[in-house]
Structure formats: structure tokens, C-alpha cells
Amino acid sequence: MVPRLGPLKLKAQIFCGDEPAMGPGKADLLEAIDREGSISAAGRALGMSYRRTWLLVDSMNRCWVDKLVDTTPGGGSDKGARITPCGKQVLAAYRALESRLLETADAGSLDALSPLLREKPLPPS
């Protein structure tokens, strides 16, 4: 999810060339894979289609120096997916970036905007 701070929504995306390599959705997916131990379970937990989930994982795995998600194919007790060390590093650095950006917004950057905002929009004209 795109992080919010009061009236502010802040979406940080990291691009590899023209390809989005990390962003709010991919970071949430990495965390869900870490929690669920499976790519398809992670997608289900986030309400994403199977196809979209795999496309995001494939994209993440092609944009960084190492893959972010590792899968063990087959049906043994080892099967499933896990976040690689590179994946943990990228995820932590991305969450830290988001936090620092929100801290900046919190440290006075919204003070000139918030008082000018209505509580609710007027009805459409």
C-alpha cells in the first residue's frame, strides 16, 4: 500500500531503466512471500491474481544484481519461496527510504498545505 501521512499519499518507485523495480506493491509482496513462504499464497493474501503475482516476482528478479525471491520447485518439504539476502537488503533499504521521506513530510513540509485544505470536498459542480 502507498504510505499515507494525514492528507499526503507518497509513492516511491525505483526504476531499472524503464522497468519499475521496487515500489509499494512489490515491497508488500516481498513481505507477504516472507510471511507465507509461497508466492501463490502471498498473492492470495494480497488479493492479487496468480498471473500478476508472478509477473511482479519475475520483474523484481530481473532488475537487481541478484534475484530477490528464490523458489524451490517440486513437492518436497523444502518447496515454496523465500526472500534472498539481496531481497532482504533491497526491502529494508526501500522501507528505510519510505520512512525518511515520510519523516521529511512530517517535519513541517505539510504545514503550508494542510490549513488550506477543506475537510471534505464540495459536491461536484
Quote the crossing angle between the two packed helices 24-36 and 50-63, to the nearest 10°.
100
Strands 80-83 and 69-72 come out as: antiparallel
Which residue from 3, 25, 38, 59 is in contact with a second copy, where contact means CB under 8 A? 59
User: What whole-number distance in Å separates Cα of residue 53 and Cα of residue 40?
Assistant: 7
65 binding a second copy? (CB under 8 A)? yes
Count of residues making up the chain? 125
Q: How far is the CB of 77 from a second copy (least distance, A)?
A: 26
52 binding a second copy? (CB under 8 A)? no
Q: How far is the CB of 21 from a second copy (least distance, A)?
A: 6
Which residue from 10, 38, 41, 44 is in contact with a second copy, where contact means CB under 8 A? 10
